[in-house]
Amino acid sequence: MTDATVRVVSYNIRALKDDRDALVRVIRALEPDVLCLQEAPRHPFSRHRISALAADCGLTWGGGDDRGRMSTTLLTGMRLDVLASGHRLLPVVRPAEPRGWAFATCRLPGYQPFVTVSLHLSLKAKERPEHAKLLRDAKELADNVPAVLAGDVNETSKGSAWQLFAAGLDDPSGEINTFPAKAPVKRIDTIFTSPVLRATRPQVDLDQADLKAASDHLPLWADLDLSGLAVGNSEAPPPMAAG
């Protein structure tokens, strides 16, 4: 990793129902600058569990006052300045579990901002394309700001929602099966990135027993090369005001 490299990790942690110590070890080994979580604890009075996980992983959590009962959120490392963040619900038919996405607009000092989205789409196939369209059209992803879309899509790369996300974005995570963690047979998690971020997936030596014990999903990760966003680079997108 170079000074211009930022690592994004996406992880469905199944509400911390599995081996929490193994989960912390996996996350620490991955050394994320941005950690996109799905199925974070979402019930009332669970905020302290997310804050404690962030602290144990050497990360910070903005709190998520607008999160409601949504299970999607982001944690960030100390290298990044968080300019804006929030949580947005996606429409589902009750009594279905709430679905949504969280975002954080971050800046590495000396570079232009980028926005990262942690998403978790519906189990219902007919709802997922609508969710994908709403997310791609969201104002938080406007203004030509480079973006990372990461999370649990609940469908494979042949699905229509997946293909909507993939249009115009890179897919650095490759054809790696992510579910179930003990014997993965399908890939339903992903990381999509704007081409300017020149994302790659580096090799990271992770403990296989910890991976199987930590959650029912495997994590995905990508390294972003922010060289193209360096302040003063004439090809970089226009700067974004802090919000």
Strand 189-193 and strand 73-76: the pairing is: unpaired
Question: Domain span at residue 28?
Answer: 5-229
Q: What's the burial of 218, exposed, middle or buried (CB within 10 Å: 0-12/13-18/19+)?
A: buried
Residue 68 lies in a domain: yes
Dist CA 180 CA 60 (whole Å):
28
Does a structural domain hold residue 120? yes
Instruction: Classify residue 86: in a domain, yes or no.
Output: yes
241: in domain: no
109 within a domain of the structure (yes/no): yes
- CATH number of the domain to which 177 belongs: 3.60.10.10
**pLDDT: is 86 or 44 the higher one?**
86
pLDDT tens for 111-131 read 999 999 999 999 999 999 999
pTM above 0.75, yes or no: yes
Q: How many domains does the chain have?
A: 1
Does a structural domain hold residue 80? yes
Judge whether 234 lies within some domain.
no
Residues 107, 64, 34, 85, CA torsion sign: negative
